[in-house]
Structure 1
């Protein structure tokens, strides 16, 4: 198993593509379809003696172009099977356009978030500037569901549905000892480093995490996929699932390996508790406010893709407290009605927290 890291200055930073090269040859994610990224992937694969035409399987963690963008082109070159969760499949096979290519969905979303005209214009211009070749060619996909099993590059993978960042985001669990054997045989190269699982415990599980858990940033929720109902609640449940599985190691879609993914997932969940309290404080100070106005208080001035992600994140938190009855929505504005609620009660407890509660009850 080898990591090939690709350039990405538009989204969450350098992308990871994982090459599984055993009895068959597979990829976990592909990178965005920008010409220079395509060249980087070709070069990284060539360092391991692999070309696009040699790929048997492509496993896509989610529909975002920086993860799925080159899937269709690789499939055209090799006939590879492209696997993706059913909820994200329409955005990978091209049957449903993403937000950036759907004017009606843009209008509905931007109105709900209270985006002013100048922000809408800047975001639309940004979409236009990066959309050429961004998503690449559509792929014929094989749909996955939670719990499905497949073997890619000699590694057995289990689909673990982790929605929130996107509706269909799926991690892939695998046996660490099996991956260690592949890593031991791999050569470290300048373009692709051999992935070290960090443990030989035969009972330990690893996770190809996509953007469900990232080592540096907190994955965007709300703006990254506007199709989700109650996106923050969905993401909180996904984080708890990562914690409960207690994976030994996670290989994220961006940046470096995460050696304690349960600890990182718990930190992200706590971050969202803190942000929810901050959103409530903003409503308490401002009175009724739109997601755009709340995002300005949270993040300050926004540009480019952050014009989408900032109010989307604010919306996710506002929607979360409105669903819980802590706020009320009137059009594009939210009003705080219960400023004294215990924010912890709005999120699921982690296994450790449940243990503490049980001990306290005794």
Structure 2
């Protein structure tokens, strides 16, 4: 396997993509591809050249999810090489060249902005950021959908598709058949915790879905995870546990806001949690606050009326809300 780092000025942490089959054994495969701009095209081409290959040699691309910093270059790679592009069936429409799925996503985002109580000026700033991201996501001309349990040959190994929703509705990891390695995308990151709630507004119950995905990762217990940003993760179960603990602590913080402030919208809760927000964090902050409020509402800890959340239980037992990894 050959590791290729790609620049990323839109989100924290440069992207990491992976080349399998560089020795000529099996299909030459990229796991994720990065944003579509000229600089990153050149970086990807240079990374392939370091492994003795050109973009035209790539036979297939395995996408972990639809976000532009993972899928944006898929169309270019496919045009240059004729590569087959794989993506989970739920995210595939957002990778394909048609714009209908993106229009539906933007409509869903606008509905969330209203429901979260996002101010007008924040919406205006965020729309400009989202327009830029869409520009960096050209879309592939043809996508082969995969589902949980499918197997794809990559280089000289078989990779099994694992549906790991939470960050996006169709996020997947690719697990080596012997279970020893996971290509994790954004489901497991070594430094940051992936955003839940704002990163894909199509998901209802985003936090519950993500916690379930962490349980799946822990149950598989791969020796190593290769994330979509930064460096390898050697203690995969420990990292999954740390992230789950982080979300439990954040849920406590959300409860503290409601205890101190009283009933509040997700936007107000996010401001108390994160302070003033700018750029893509205008989406991610209230999205994450909403995901935690929604999780609490599902378990009858809070109640919502017209987008305003209030406490039902002031000192709830959170053990049933979080997995024991």
Tell me the TM-score normalised to structure 1 length: 0.86
Q: Could you list the per-position Cα deviations for residues 148-205 of structure 1 after superposition, in whole angstroms to 9, with x for gaps in the alignment?
A: 1110122210001110000111001115xxxxxxxxxxxxxxxxxxxxxxxxxxx661
Work out the CA distance in 1 between the residues paired with 2:149 and 2:317.
Answer: 34
In structure 2, what is the equivalent of residue 118 of structure 1?
121
- Decide whether the 8 Å contact of 1:149 with 1:158 is kept in 2: yes
Partner of 1:12: 12
What is the distance in 1 between the residues matched to 2:105 and 2:225?
A: 34
Matching of residue 32 in structure 1 with residue 7 in structure 2: no
* 8 Å Cα contact 1:100/1:124 also seen in 2: no
Contact 2:78 2:140 in 1 (8 A): no
User: What is the 5 A alignment of 1:139-218?
Assistant: 139-175=141-177, 205-218=180-193
Distance 1:74 1:149 in 2: 22
After superposing the two structures, state which structure 1 stretch, 66-75 or 87-96, moved more: 87-96
1:338 equivalent among 301, 313, 324? 313
Q: Is the 8 A contact 1:99 1:105 kept in 2?
A: no
8 Å Cα contact 2:94/2:139 also seen in 1: no
Cα shift at 1:78: 1.5
Q: Which runs of 5+ in 2 are unaligned?
A: none
Local SS of the residue matching 1:165: coil
How far did residue 103 of structure 1 move?
A: 4.8
Corresponding residue number in structure 2 for 1:296: 271
Alignment check: 8 A CA contact 1:100 1:106 kept: no
CA distance in 2, matches of 1:252, 1:19: 13
- Provide closer, same or farther for how the CA distance between residues 70 and 208 of structure 1 changes in structure 2, counting only shifts above 3 A: same
Distance between the aligned counterparts of 1:274 and 1:120, measured in 2?
Answer: 28
Report the equivalent of 1:278.
253
Moved more, 150-159 or 311-320: 150-159
Unaligned segments of structure 1, at least 5 residues = 176-202, 351-362
CA drift of 1:293 comes to 0.4
- Residue of structure 2 equivalent to 1:356: none
CA–CA separation in structure 2 for the residues paired with 1:100 and 1:279: 32
> Any conservation in 1 of the 2:218–2:236 contact (CA below 8 Å)?
yes
* 2:288 pairs with one of 313, 318, 326: 313
> 1:7-32 deviations in whole A, cap 9, x for unaligned?
01211311011001233211000011
SS in structure 1 at match of 2:112: helix
Instruction: Please say which of residues 106-115 and 253-262 is displaced more in the overlay.
Output: 106-115
Task: Provide the residue aligned with 1:55 in structure 2.
Answer: 58
* Distance in 2 (alpha carbons) for counterparts of 1:99 and 1:290: 26
**Residues 265, 250 of structure 1: CA spacing in aligned structure 2 closer, same or farther, 3 A cutoff?**
same
Deviant stretches of 4+, over 6 Å: 98-101
Mean CA deviation greater in 72-81 or 286-295 = 72-81
Provide the C-alpha distance between the structure 2 equivalents of 1:10 and 1:331, rounded to a whole number of angstroms.
33
My pick for the range that moved more, 96-105 or 336-345, is 96-105
How many residue pairs get aligned? The number is: 322
Contact 1:99–1:106, Cα closer than 8 Å, also in 2: no
After superposition, give the CA deviation of every residue in 1:256-296 in whole Å (9 maximum; x if it has no partner).
00001110000000111111111011111111111110001
Contact residue 38 and residue 70 of structure 1 kept, 8 A: yes
Aligned to 2:215: 240
